[in-house]
Amino acid sequence: MSAKRALVVVRKGRPRKIAERYPSGDVKRRERGDPRDLGIYNRCKESRSRFWQDRALESEIGRLHQVQKVISAAEAEALFELGRHLGRYRRLMGFPRPAAHSAAFDLGYGGPSDYVIPAELERQAQVEKRLHQRIRDVIPTEVAWDALYAICAENRHVNPIYAGDIARFARAIAMVFANRNSFAKLRTAKPKPRRSPAQRAAILVDMLEDYFAECGQSVEAWSLLEAGEHAAERGIKGYGTGAFRHTVTINRGDALAAEFDMAIIRAAEAKGWRERG
């Protein structure tokens, strides 16, 4: 009885590559794009040719749009606008300028004119704060927000696997900016409730009392501030110990001058102050 021997064939050389092949058996090469793109991009960035005079085009957003072509022009513009918003938001909120920042962030972080009044700065801060909250609402996760902040504000390289998500979030952010600038969806502010003459007079008297208290004084006497019939403001002058005195004024609103003066007299008498003749 003879035993049959099995022939074992051992293949030498490299293992067979698992990949898509042509009918001839040759491996299909992956489309890697033009290998010269990155070199051209780096040389243009260093030489600052006329095409690259705009610093925004040499940023990571510009590379994703101009070189890799994974985001469209509209998506790139939305990301640039996000970078400018982040600069404005951090400046108005009082945050320091980060060490690494993009060109779009610099444009937004640039300080306002020296002639801007604090009330206008406060209004701008509230506008940017509301806009920032609306942008965060369309970004679902902190990972996605970190990636967008890195590429838009810090000009840092982001893993290419996030390119599709970055494009999708850029479209969502573009909708937020478009709705903010839409003329058809302007929200009218709710009218503030009007204060009565008695409420305004009470505020005026309290302002005078608080000032005297801060100065270590007390109101010994008071007198109405003389003003014309059509003057928009009415005031009261308080007298303390010695020659100490102070005057406060307030807008009388829609009330008549005589009506508002009577309200001031009643508010001062309620404090127990003596009217000076």
- Residue from 258, 255, 250 nearest 197 by CA: 255
Total residues belonging to the chain? 277
E strands present in 154-232: 221-224
What is the C-alpha to C-alpha distance for residues 176 and 163, in angstroms, rounded to an integer?
20
Q: Work out the widest C-alpha separation in the chain, in whole angstroms.
A: 142
94: alpha, beta or left, given left = phi > 0 and alpha = psi -120 to 50? left
pLDDT in tens, 20-49: 888 888 888 766 666 556 666 666 666 554
Instruction: State both tokens at 36.
Output: 């010269």
The answer, yes or no, to whether residue 192 has pLDDT greater than 70, is no
What is the C-alpha to C-alpha distance for residues 166 and 168, in angstroms, rounded to an integer?
5
The answer, yes or no, to whether residue 112 has pLDDT greater than 70, is no
The owner of tokens 């942008």 is: 135
Average pLDDT over residues 70-80: 88
pLDDT in tens, 249-258: 888 777 777 8
Per-residue confidence (pLDDT) for residue 275, from 0 to 100: 87
Average pLDDT over residues 222-247: 80
Query: How many C-beta atoms surround the C-beta of residue 95 within 10 A?
Result: 11
The answer, yes or no, to whether residue 216 has pLDDT greater than 70, is yes
pLDDT in tens, 124-175: 888 888 899 889 888 888 888 888 998 988 888 887 778 888 889 999 999 9
What is the C-alpha to C-alpha distance for residues 105 and 86, in angstroms, rounded to an integer?
6
Q: 237 phi and psi, to 5 degrees?
A: -110, 130
**212: confidence class by pLDDT, cuts 50, 70, 90:** confident
Query: How many C-beta atoms surround the C-beta of residue 22 within 10 A?
Result: 8
Query: How many C-beta atoms surround the C-beta of residue 86 within 10 A?
Result: 26
Average pLDDT over residues 86-90: 89
Q: Which pTM value belongs to this model?
A: 0.48
The answer, yes or no, to whether residue 56 has pLDDT greater than 60, is no
Per-residue confidence (pLDDT) for residue 3, from 0 to 100: 54
